[in-house]
Structure 1
């Protein structure tokens, strides 16, 4: 249904137009005015957008030509039809200058009125289709550009430019496929929920990324604002879609690129395997890690040990050491207590046969004379843990065999549980070690390989696109086309046609 504003100082003429709209069943909702000033007030009020203005010329207070000028200024895309009993060339010439689409003479011929209005409605519909196509193309180009930035596939200048557009990233992940099935609906839901501007990127069926724009920066001086937004998203995903959604976020301030921040968030989101009760996973530099009073939380150390991320473990331990050395308010008892808790965590991660005696360690801690002795003890235990773990990794972890398994089974609906079961390891350990050894997220590795195989089939066979999608492991053809376009910057059909022309 389209909106039409009918303006005439003759009530009889207005009734005639309303009759014709009803007679020809034109898809129009009519609003009327008896002079130009009344019509202008309705335009200025902005309560509804008028698709068509149908106005007489000669009216008191403001004539139709002046009203048409004001309409063109206030609503450039409104179509204008003038109808008048004055067959004057000057009126017609002025109307053309203003941008009036049509000019009808009184008395109005019903068939001419229906044809003119129908022609304008068709033009409005065509403009809408073109605008929708342009908007869709713009979204696709933006998504491709964002995906390139996430994968660090842009030049430094391009990376800096795109990073300057955003202040924060927010990573969303579900345990089951969600974002491919509910992608558009969920994106619209986010636009309703979130009180800030953002761009949205669907990465995988289980993962998406929100790019929060710079124009919201003033709102995010407090981390609690972002945490509240994350909790709102998680709650909505659970209540309205029945999905558990894990969320973490990070700032793009400083020199960190989108790719670097994404890698940190990706690493943080993987800790959901160990903390299923947490849906909002705060970044390591957040209020979860250290309170304002300087008291140290062991959460970071626990996370690092469970993920076997010894690089982060070393970094976080050194931060704890620096905090305990520099903070003058800590008592000696408190410092020794912190080291005792740290030693417990480190010792528990060693194989039973390699664990030192905790009673003996506690005695050494509480009889030490300075913090340097405690730091040396902790570093020695950490080095022992690293050595034992590296030796175990060499015996147990077969990354190349995992890749071969993926190459042989990519067409099947692979899950983390399937792969982990094939190698007798836990899914969380599989994800963590695969990322550590290859630098690539396991799910991304599988999807990228599927897309690469799909491109080979496009260029070397005449299989239809939907058959190729199914062959390489994608259940949904539309989702396959979307992922292919994000990865290669063009649709499957365009890829095949381009290579054929070459």
Structure 2
């Protein structure tokens, strides 16, 4: 049975619908009535908002139907609505349609028209419930796959998938974060694999072992989600109570994983934890910081969890870029190319004064592949020269390593091309107008699962360009602006009279989890929402 709430200041109208609705349509029952919009809101609150349809008059004292429609439209979980009005109230009814009203009926009510509306509402509700049941019937494995696909889309900047999967997370009530979380990235040592003579075709097997071992550990730790990045490296979302807790959990998980992999394969593991983030859409930033930190393995000898790369701590990255430029020059040729290569490699030399074969292979493979870019055959030919037995040595000084690398570079027949590209606003609208539209959309839809990809799609612009444009014009990221809008609205709701429940406020500003909302609120205002409400 579907439940109807009739809202009308005319007792005769309410009585008519109460008495005859069951006979007019067997799937409907009039489960409540109210004489104005304010009373209707109270009835909805008392019943846990468990009504399928609100049928309301447009003109009523205290709160009219238009105000009621506006109030209900702002709620995530809202009943369907039918507006009742006279001929002279059509302008008001038309305005009410802006708030998501489903039907408009003229008074006095005609029985056949009322039956048709009730039948149409019942069929639409049945379809919605069938769709919801299909989602809820998904197995736990299927729900986990949705979460993995979403995380993969976030770290690979696949905005099309984000646009589809982000609302789906909300519909399935899949909550990935209660407070903060970070991406933990792990990978085998390719230098060690090559040193042991493991062919590239066989390396996939060892990475599969790492992935499966990580999957077993993830099952033992609720909240941790396993996925893979675009290079098929194992990645894990590690949630925690705050940034420090996330870091501790990443370290503990990596220790268990690396020990297990070492015991099974004899191979070492590198790991890097990204920045702790408050929002799942910011996990791409966490992944990028982990990916940057992972480059630290090229300057290390011993396998370990690499520290995060903070602001101003990119000296290693600069040295690697200098080495890549020197390698690029060596492939072109010209006077002094080998001397320039040697000069660029020397700052990368480990404290021992020379590279182990494993470290030399690791660094050499990185440099060759970064130059070859998409030309994999060229990189493969160069790497084959790097690992040939006659080139093997226990350790390499700077001159020996430069010579070995120069020989591999000389085999690369095609010069890796580099270039830059950008997005220009062209002859379109001024940038500030685009940002204004973005802000307007955020203010209108902050309670929904909106993402940058969704907004970009609506505006016909690329997400990357829109993100850069927004930051340039506002001085803050899109996600920080959205969070601030949500938090400021939450503060207003918490100060409302009568006071709103914290869990209701959390839902109204777009959070699936009350715990996550409370955490973000405390981070923003310095006090939990309950205490904030009591202090006002």
The two structures share one fold, judged by TM-score above 0.5: no
Higher relative contact order structure (alpha carbons within 8 Å, sequence separation ≥ 6):
2
Question: When the two structures are superposed, what TM-score results if normalisation uses the length of structure 2?
Answer: 0.30
